[in-house]
Amino acid sequence: MYVRKYILLLGLMVISVKVSAESGEALWMRYLKLPSDLQSLYIPYAQVYFEEGSSTIEVAKQELAQAFVGLTGVDIKFQKKPFKCSLLIGKNVNQFWNIPDIEKNLKKCANEGFVIRSVKRNGVRRIIVTANTDAGILYGTFALIRLMQTGCPLDSLNIIERPKYKFRLLNHWDNLDGTVERGYAGRSIWWNRKETLDALKHQYLTYARANASIGINGTVLNNVNANPKVLDQEYIEKFARFADLLRPYNIKVFMSINFSSPVIIGGLPSSDPLREDVQQWWNQKVKEIYEAIPDFGGFLVKANSEGQPGPQDYGRSHADGANMLARALEPYGGIVMWRAFVYSPSGDDRAKQAYDEFVPLDGQFRDNVIIQVKNGPIDFQPREPFSPLFGAMEKTPLMIEFQITQEYLGFSDHLVYLAPLQKECLDSDTYVKNEGSTVAIVTNGTLFKHQYSAIAGVANIGRDINWTGHHFAQANWYAFGRLAWNHNLKPEDIAREWIKMTFTHDSVFVESVLDIMMRSREAVVNYMTPMGLHHLMGWDHHYGPAPWTDIEGARPDWLPRYYHNASEEGIGFNRSKSGSNAVSQYAEPLCSMFNNPKTCPQNLLLWFHHLPWDYRLSSGLTLWQELCYHYYRGVDEVKLMQKKWDRLRGRIDDERFEHVQHKLKVQVREAKWWRDACVLYFQTFSKMPIPYELERPEHDLDELMNLKFDMKNHN
């Protein structure tokens, strides 16, 4: 299908341009024909020697063929002899050229890395893509394709890459009934589907290709709030079928399990991890899984958190529970990822509880247990400090968990590019081993020399035709994978790649959209939770603003009032030494820096301090004035994003342009909703006027407080 676009040039003439309508189904693997000048750079490499091998090698070869003809219009000619070829791909191809530094560099690549090298011999330019393993060849092939997709020259390549993390996973919060917890792109792609596996094969292979293209090598197929039925033979067989489809793309499947499964489906009287019959039950269940899935990755466990069962129900520790499962998995090479998202109604600061519960257990976990820690100490907020657990458990590997789905960031309605959030956390210095002890090197295994390292992202994928509900939410899936592969990449460079691959090489479009994306995260922080405020969302839906929420009988740490503590005296959560003393969980100099409101970063000020409304900031403004300016700035930023997008009409297909345009209209409207709700509500405590130069709120506070959010009918 084609739609005709008319672009007025210089006000003098109209040129008709055909632009194919697109649904977003192909993600960043569209492989549409490049501009002719770029085609001419790549066509000389159409003579290809691709070493034969496993199913992984075969899918890499197929991907290259599909990409090459799509990008250049020229079919690759695969040759059986290497010497007349301009592109050579395989584990042993350097034997034909004997370039010494390639062999040397391969030693740096480990199991999944690769080398891409341009060489010139006898006046002929060639490219060599080589690796130690089939997985490395797969990733090297996708890297070469990405270079072509983004218009890079190929005549002077000298690339040596290996992933920073051993396990790079998506966590699907998909339920067996087909619903997706915190999913905003339709129902589960895995569960409760009417279609046959054969009918869905193309979709699953697109998923596999997308993940392989960015280096993701594992996927947890079911929700951390796990249904015990997932361990029934019926579901083990389903996992096995998915594993068979994903295996050629170097993707292992993992399973979330319910700790009480021995009681619920096994008929045992207890799930006490120290009971022999419970241990034997898990040993047998793990054996069944590996008989069906020889390369099964392991278990993800949410235990003693938000009502989920766990070892503490029997007076045992997290280490007791995790180690029981680890012993069962160890003979097969499996791992246990044990989530540290725990908090209880103890009355203590919720931000401290994971640290208090897990740090005393350091050194008690088996080697194949990894503790999975959310990036911040509360719960995937628009901005949080990094979790103090990072660096605090020297003897235990910790993996970082980011949320790709936007539970607290406007669902799939708001354009929020998350790479700056993730990069901000990964680059944060913990100082646990002096300066330079970043969260990234704590979690990638290099700081404390751990055997295993891992990083996880809670997936935003569903059955929507564009996969993620918002076309720009695809960028968050893409960026997570790229940062998981190499946390040293810059968010703006990742965004520029994605824009070119997903939309167009048109420089006006690329630079305008890059600006939109790089503004978006700070914009949402400003109109939702500026200056360290957090958890102001509706307690039951996590979407719209509800800072006034106070529900009799509800746990206080589920309610916004617990976090903002607004009163006539001021606002913010006192986590200094005079308050909850959460600052003491951070190493120096962070502890002292966070403890003093004069040195605490302003973007975290109200996270660590409760301050009076007339508190003077270094800018000379009062806290109230600064807070107002942030809320209004957030709305202004989204308006600017909308204007920038509107100017791009005609540069991409109408279908995606209008989808994003509609979403931005929603975002502007809801940014104002956030601004007005928070400013007007907090004004009831501050008793101070909104700065005169700011426009008046568009809403009435009573109207906003009575607004009911219908979660079921939202999407």
Q: Which residues are designated catalytic?
A: 306, 379, 407
Q: Which residues are paired to 20 by β-bridges?
A: 2
Query: Six-digit token pair at 376?
Result: 């911040």
Q: What residue type is 101 in one-letter code?
A: D
Query: Six-digit token pair at 714?
Result: 């939202």
Q: What residue type is 447 in one-letter code?
A: L
Dihedral class, residue 388 (left if φ above 0, else alpha if ψ from -120 to 50, else beta): alpha
Closest of 544, 535, 530, 528 to residue 704, by C-alpha: 544
Q: Which residues are paired to 159 by β-bridges?
A: 116
Compute the radius of gyration of the chain from its Cα atoms: 26
DSSP letter assigned to residue 509:
H
- Judging by beta carbons within 10 Å of its beta carbon (0-12, 13-18, 19+), is residue 16 exposed, middle or buried? exposed
Q: Please report where in the chains the tokens 């029997």 appear, as a residue.
A: 314
CB 496 within 8 A of CB 479: no
Helix axes 134-149 and 55-72, enclosed angle (nearest 10): 10
CB 409 within 8 A of CB 381: no
Separation between Cα atoms, residue 519 and residue 517, nearest integer Å: 5
3-state secondary structure 33-59: CCCHHHHHHHHHHCEEEECCCCHHHHH
CB 549 within 8 A of CB 691: no
- Residues 687-707: b if buried by 16+ CB within 10 A, e if exposed: ebebeeebeebeeebeebeee
Q: For 674-678, which contacts have Cβ atoms below 8 Å and span 24 or more sequence positions? A: 674/527, 674/528, 674/544, 674/545, 674/631, 674/634, 675/527, 675/631, 675/632, 675/634, 675/635, 676/701, 676/704, 677/544, 677/545, 677/546, 677/547, 677/701, 677/704, 677/705, 678/536, 678/545, 678/547, 678/631
CB 575 within 8 A of CB 593: no
Q: What residue type is 317 in one-letter code?
A: S
DSSP letter assigned to residue 247:
G
Query: Six-digit token pair at 631?
Result: 């809320």
**∠ CA 543-414-645, rounded to 5°:** 160
CB 472 within 8 A of CB 516: no
Q: What residue type is 459 in one-letter code?
A: A
- Judging by beta carbons within 10 Å of its beta carbon (0-12, 13-18, 19+), is residue 653 exposed, middle or buried? buried
Alpha carbon 465 to chain centroid, angstroms: 20
Query: Six-digit token pair at 543?
Result: 């979407």
Query: Six-digit token pair at 423?
Result: 């990069």
Given CA atoms 673, 679, 684, 690 in this order, what sign does their dihedral have? negative
Say how many C-beta atoms besides its own lie within 10 A of residue 203's C-beta.
15
* DSSP count for the chain of H helices, then E strands: 21, 16
Q: What residue type is 12 in one-letter code?
A: L
